[in-house]
Every structure is written in C-alpha cells, then in structure tokens.
Structure 1
Amino acid sequence: MNTTQAETTVPETVDPEAEYQQLSTELLRNTKIRRHRAAVQALVEERTILSLPAVQRALIVDSRKGRAAQLTELSGRQYALGLDEGQRKFLGLVLSMVGIGITTLASMEDLDDRRLPIILRAILRLAGNDTIAVGTRT
C-alpha cells in the first residue's frame, strides 16, 4: 500500500513593517502634486492613521502605476474611520493642506509632541522649503 503525505503549504508571513514601507513608497511615488505629496508624507510619518484598514479602504485607489492616495475620499468620512480625537485633528490639518475642510491652524495646539513636528515639516514641504529644520530647541 502506497501512502502519500498531503503537502502542507505554509503561507508566507507578511512582515507588517515591510508592507507599510512598500505602501508608503508607492503612495509617495504616485503623488505628483506638491501639496498632496506633503499631505501623504505627513500621513506616512504619522503612521497610526494610514495603518488603519478603514483609512486604507477610503484613501487608496489602484491606478495604472500602482496604489495612489485619493485624499478627497477622506473628507466626508473622518468620523466614520474609527479615529481617536488626536488622529482626527491631525487628519483635519493634513486635509486642510490640500484645500479640503476648514480646519484652522489653531487646532495645532491640540497636537501631541509626536504629531506637531510632522505637521511642521509638512507645512515646510508645502511651502517648498527644505532648509528650515524642525526639531527640539536647545
């Protein structure tokens, strides 16, 4: 009697860090307008928002060149994405950089120490300035 063992295929484990880096690279590569690119870069740096599946479903579209960010899709869905208050305020500021929404700069006072430098760097990118450094004052 001849028996064969069933081949068990072990699915490749997906490295979340590598997947996030690939997504980030693709989104930035496929974003050509400076203000949109600054906004996408801010979301990439902030990470917690872009890592959420609900945000990815609302934001990311497949294009001929790969995945791309469709920022306008986030505007009406901010409260349905499962974001906490800090994430919503950050997203509001990011969307305002591309002309979506009416978030004022005054809401920057509500950002934590991690998100504030990200927004400041995004504003500098938006202005086309790569000479001013954002960091801790000594």
Structure 2
Amino acid sequence: MTTGETMMPDAGFRELCEQLVRTATSPLDRAAVQALVEERTILEVAAVRHALIVDSEHGPTAHFEGLSGWQHTLGFDEEQRSFLGLVLSMVGIGLTTVASVQDLDERRLPIILRAILRLAGNDTIAVGTRM
C-alpha cells in the first residue's frame, strides 16, 4: 500500500465508481475513469480521491485537472506512476509517451489497452491472452 492509502468498503467503492463513470462528461473522461476503476489501487488512495473528485449538480465527478499536479507526490511506485500518466494523457493532461506501457504488468496492460479501444470507439477487438 502507498502512503495515504485507505481501503474503502467494497460496496462504497463500487457505488463511487459507478457514479464517476455515470457522470463522466466526455468519452475521454469515461475511458480514463473506467481505467482507474478497473485498476482500483490508485483510486483507493484517499489523496487521489480528494484531488480527483469534485461535487457537481449530478453528484461526485472526476475532475482530472485536479489530479494532474499531484501525480508525483502520491508515493506511487514506477508502475502506478506510468499507469496514471497514461490515464491522464487520455484526457490531454501531461506528456506521457505510449512507450511507458513497457512499465506495466500483465494486470495493468490490458486495462490500458481496453481504455485505448474505448477512446477509439471500438468494441469489437478483444483484449486478452492469445492462444
């Protein structure tokens, strides 16, 4: 666990995640939120939720600009920083290159690949293990 990380109860976390996906204001935001939801460990950090989530008239909403300034101060390991950098780049924040996918493990890489497919509007290409 990273510094400042607090585990939310599963039911509360699922409800928050559903709300964030529902209130995403654009396909870019939705793909980024879904990636964070799938990855989970980054969104479970209280400081991330504090920086990312704002109250809107529709309830809690992801505001990625609030998170951008904090990404290097959250105590994440290299893989988490790379993942977060890629997610932020989906919404046009930062200068993370696609080459940073080489820092991702077998769990996080498919999450990013599915997010890229969502950005492209493609729901026909499957991401998984090749036989």
TM-score greater than 0.5 by the shorter chain: yes
Q: Which has the higher contact order (CA 8 A, sep 6+)?
A: 2
* Alignment of 1:129 onto 2:125: no
Once residues 60 and 68 of structure 2 are traced to their aligned partners in structure 1, the CA distance between those partners, rounded to angstroms, is 19
Once residues 108 and 18 of structure 1 are traced to their aligned partners in structure 2, the CA distance between those partners, rounded to angstroms, is 31
Instruction: Report the structure number with the largest CA radius of gyration.
Output: 1
CA-based RMSD:
0.9
TM-score (norm 1): 0.87
Question: Matches of residues 1-138 of structure 1 in structure 2 within 5 Å?
Answer: 16-138=9-131
The code of the aligned residue for 1:25 comes to E
Once residues 61 and 99 of structure 1 are traced to their aligned partners in structure 2, the CA distance between those partners, rounded to angstroms, is 19
Could you say what secondary structure the match of 2:72 adopts? helix
Once residues 23 and 41 of structure 2 are traced to their aligned partners in structure 1, the CA distance between those partners, rounded to angstroms, is 21
Segments of structure 1 that go 5 or more residues without pairing to the other structure are 1-14
State, as a whole percentage, how many aligned pairs show the same letter: 66
Task: Name segments (4+ residues, structure 1) moved above 6 Å.
Answer: none
Deviates more, 1:74-83 or 1:42-51: 74-83
TM-score (norm 2): 0.92
Once residues 87 and 121 of structure 2 are traced to their aligned partners in structure 1, the CA distance between those partners, rounded to angstroms, is 16
The code of the aligned residue for 2:120 comes to A
